[in-house]
Amino acid sequence: MDDILGSARATLQPFLKVSNLTDLYNAYTTIPTEYALVGHCLFLAALAPEFKHRFLVHFWITFLAGFGGGVITSILMMDPVKAPINILANNSLGVTWFICWWLIVYSPYNIVGRIHSMPPVKMITKLCLTFLRAKLIINRVELAVVLFPGVIAAPLILGTLAGSGGKLLVDAIRYHWGGLQGPAEASVPTFVWRSAALAAGGYWVASKYTNLLTSQEAAAIVITVLLIHSVLSDLFGSDVTDFTYPVAKIAHALSLVPLPTETALPAASKAAKKSALSQPPVKSARQQAPAHAAGSSLKQSHQPQPSTSTVSSQSKAGALETAPVKPAASGKNVVIKADSSNVKSGKKQESKKTK
């Protein structure tokens, strides 16, 4: 405990002597990376609680949420010396991540998870995450300028992916499994993508393209702005403190590119809606019943009426068929009665012929 308090005092002392942006950046460099990494991992492990019953899925989803930007940019840079994949480069990151993940998710009686859920503790771990995220964006812009000299797209793309690649990966995985609530980051960019793009673009323009500021001064501004937003978003909400939305709105208005919305219909649903509107309306069963009855009555009226003799003969035959038969003692008597009636009818027909 004394060591932690001593390191905290040593970390705060440089901030008390800050007089310019360069001093502020030097004060940021005195923050122990190990402690920032612990807070970073604790905050990430508390994400995606719906996947806790699937330990492997939860382990990798939460890992990619915080370290996915570094993994993507390392793969794109193709330089394992200057930009190695973080979890494969050293043991400290992998061990720290595993211990923090287990403590948050599976500690006995959820002791660590309950302590981390307290607002002051959660605010500190979120600051650690924001601090490392800002440092990664700056690092990727610097490496892109060195590895791809003279290329404008390299620092902008790699810096933006460094700060938003984790969210892009996790949203893609959630969408594939049907567990994504709302639109994905790639379809409707939020503060995560916009802040990464502004940080990468602002740092590159200020320190590399125009040389208005030194690299240390520009880095101090980027880190400070993101840290202030992290604190204010916890106090007042993310929607109120989102400073990137007005900038995005102005950029879309000047470029005539519409802002993506959550209620936009996909192409398939629009085509289905147009085809449904072009088809004639289908009548319900109640509306079709009177028309069907009228058509059947008209058909019956057009059919030729049978003669009276045929009607009478048909009625007699129907009466004989439908007349109730008294139960007989045996089946033989019934057969004999039916034969005698047939004989009588045959004699009547012969007498009519002779007449």
Give me the tens of pLDDT residue by residue for the chain, a chain 355 residues long.
566 667 667 778 888 888 899 999 999 999 999 999 999 999 999 998 888 888 999 999 999 999 999 999 999 999 999 999 999 988 999 999 999 999 999 999 999 999 999 999 999 999 999 999 999 999 999 999 999 999 999 999 999 999 999 999 999 988 888 778 888 999 999 999 999 999 999 999 999 999 999 999 999 999 999 999 999 999 999 888 999 999 999 999 999 999 998 764 454 444 444 454 455 544 444 444 444 444 444 344 444 444 444 434 444 444 334 344 444 334 434 333 444 444 444 444 444 444 3
pTM for this entry: 0.72
Q: At what angle do helices 91-106 and 33-45 cross, to 10 degrees?
A: 40
CB count in 10 Å sphere of residue 63:
22
Contacts of 193 (CB under 8 A, 6+ apart): 160, 164, 167, 168, 185
Distance CA 74, CA 77 (A): 5
Positive or negative torsion for Cα 343, 348, 353, 355: positive
Token match 């490496």: residue?
143
Q: Where are the domains of the chain?
A: 8-261
Phi, psi dihedral angles at 240 (to 5 degrees): -75, -35
Give the H or E element holding residue 102: helix 91-106
DSSP track, 107-138? SGGGHHHHHHTSHHHHHHHHHHHHHHHHHHHH
